[in-house]
C-alpha cells in the first residue's frame, strides 16, 4: 500500500464501527423471539452483543417488519436493553413517526441508489435526524467493477448534498458478493475502498456485511472466511462492518484491525 500515490492512500484510519448481526430474521432464535413477541429473549440478544463489543446492532424483521406495531416493539425493546444505536431495515421508512421518535439512534439500512427513490429517502432521514446506509446498486446497473461503484458513490454523495442529508449520517455499502466458488468477489471492493479518498469522503463511512460474502459457503466454513476477509477490508479503509459478535476470534481481529477501540459515534 505504501507504493500508492499519496492521493490514493487511505485517509487516517477511523475507529472500525462494529455492528452486531444477530437480530436478523434468518437467525432462528431471533425469529422465534419475534414470532412470540418475547421481549426478554430479544433484550437478552441485544445485551449479549453489546457485552461482546458491538458498537451498534443490526435489526431486520424481514416481511414481519411491515407490521408497524411489531417493528415499533422490536426497535424500542432493543434500544432500551442495550442502549446502542440500531441499523434498522428500510421498512422503517414507512413509519416516519417511529423514525422521528428515535431518529438520532437509528440508521436506515439499506436503500438502493435508485435515483427515483433515493432523494425522498434522504429527505426523510434528514428530517427525522436519522442516518442512511445506501447499497451501491440501482436498476439497470449490470456491472459491479470498482469504477462503477465509484461512479455510483459519487452520485449518492451528490444526492445527499442536494437533499441536505449530513454526510456524517451516510454509509455506503459496496455490496460484498460471493464469487463463483463461494469465496468473496473481493478485489473490486478493495479497489473501491482504496480509491474512496478521491471522493473526499472524510465524513462518510463505508459499510460491509461479512455474511453477504459467504452466502453460498457451508456454515462450518463461514467463520474462517470472515476472519480472512476483515483484515483486508479494514486495511483498505473500511469504516463499518456487520459481523457475528459471538465469534471471539473475529472480534479479536476486528479490534486489532480497528486500531484503539473506543465507543464510536454512528450519527453526529
User: What are 202-248's pLDDT values in tens digits?
Assistant: 889 999 999 999 888 899 999 999 999 999 999 999 999 999 999 99
Query: In 10 A of CB 118, how many CB atoms?
Result: 20
pLDDT band at 254 (very low <50, low <70, confident <90, very high): very high
**Percent share of the chain, pLDDT over 70:** 89
Least reliable range by pLDDT among 43-52, 80-89, 170-179, 254-263: 254-263
Cβ distance 95 to 134 under 8 Å? no
- Measured CA to CA, the distance from residue 14 to residue 7 in angstroms comes to 17
β-bridge mates for residue 86, sequence order: 57, 106
**pLDDT reported for residue 268:** 30
Residues in the chain: 268
φ, ψ of residue 146 to 5 degrees: the values are -60, -40
Give the DSSP letter of residue 142. Answer: -
β-bridge mates for residue 134, sequence order: 111, 172
What is the residue whose three cell numbers read 467463520? Answer: 223
pLDDT at 265 over 50: no
Cβ distance 259 to 224 under 8 Å? no
CA distances from 211 to 8, 20, 21, 125, 182 (A): 28, 11, 9, 26, 12
β-bridge mates for residue 135, sequence order: 112, 173
Pairing outcome for strands 86-88 and 17-20:
unpaired
**pLDDT reported for residue 15:** 82
Cβ distance 224 to 250 under 8 Å? no
β-bridge mates for residue 157, sequence order: none
As a whole number, mean pLDDT of residues 156-184 equals 89
φ, ψ of residue 174 to 5 degrees: the values are -75, -5
In the numeric block, which cell numbers belong to residue 81?
Answer: 436493553
pTM reported for the whole predicted model: 0.89
**pLDDT, tens digit, 9 for 90 and up, residues 42-87:** 999 999 999 999 999 999 999 999 999 999 999 999 999 999 999 9
CA neighbours within 13 Å on the CB side: how many for 34? 27
Query: In 10 A of CB 265, how many CB atoms?
Result: 12
**pLDDT reported for residue 14:** 55
**Percent share of the chain, pLDDT over 90:** 79
**Average pLDDT value over all residues in the chain:** 89
Amino acid at each position: 500500500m505504501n507504493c500508492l500515490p499519496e492521493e490514493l492512500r487511505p485517509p487516517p484510519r477511523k475507529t472500525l464501527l462494529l455492528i452486531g448481526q444477530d437480530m436478523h430474521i434468518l437467525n432462528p432464535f431471533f425469529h422465534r423471539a419475534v414470532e412470540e413477541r418475547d421481549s426478554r429473549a430479544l433484550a437478552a440478544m441485544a445485551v449479549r452483543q453489546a457485552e461482546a463489543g458491538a458498537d451498534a446492532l443490526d435489526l431486520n424483521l424481514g416481511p414481519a417488519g411491515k407490521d408497524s406495531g411489531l417493528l415499533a416493539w422490536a426497535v424500542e425493546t432493543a434500544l432500551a436493553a442495550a442502549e446502542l444505536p440500531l441499523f434498522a431495515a428500510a421498512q422503517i421508512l414507512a413509519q416516519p413517526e417511529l423514525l422521528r421518535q428515535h431518529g438520532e439512534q437509528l440508521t436506515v439500512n439499506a436503500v438502493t441508489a435508485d435515483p427515483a427513490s433515493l432523494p425522498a429517502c434522504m429527505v426523510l432521514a434528514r428530517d427525522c435526524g436519522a442516518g442512511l446506509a445506501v447499497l451501491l446498486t440501482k436498476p439497470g446497473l449490470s456491472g459491479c467493477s470498482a469504477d462503477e461503484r465509484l461512479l455510483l458513490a459519487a452520485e449518492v454523495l451528490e444526492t445527499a448534498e442536494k437533499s441536505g442529508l449530513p454526510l456524517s449520517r451516510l454509509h455506503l455499502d459496496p455490496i460484498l458478493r460471493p464469487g463463483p466458488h463461494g469465496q468473496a468477489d473481493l478485489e473490486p471492493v478493495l479497489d473501491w475502498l482504496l480509491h474512496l479518498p478521491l471522493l473526499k469522503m472524510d465524513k462518510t463511512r463505508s459499510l460491509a456485511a461479512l455474511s453477504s460474502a459467504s452466502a453460498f459457503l457451508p456454515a462450518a466454513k463461514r467463520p474462517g472466511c470472515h476472519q480472512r476477509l476483515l483484515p483486508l477490508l479494514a486495511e483498505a479503509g473500511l469504516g463499518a462492518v456487520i459481523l457475528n459478535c459471538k465469534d471471539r476470534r473475529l472480534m479479536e481481529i476486528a479490534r486489532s484491525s480497528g486500531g484503539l477501540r473506543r465507543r464510536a459515534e454512528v450519527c453526529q
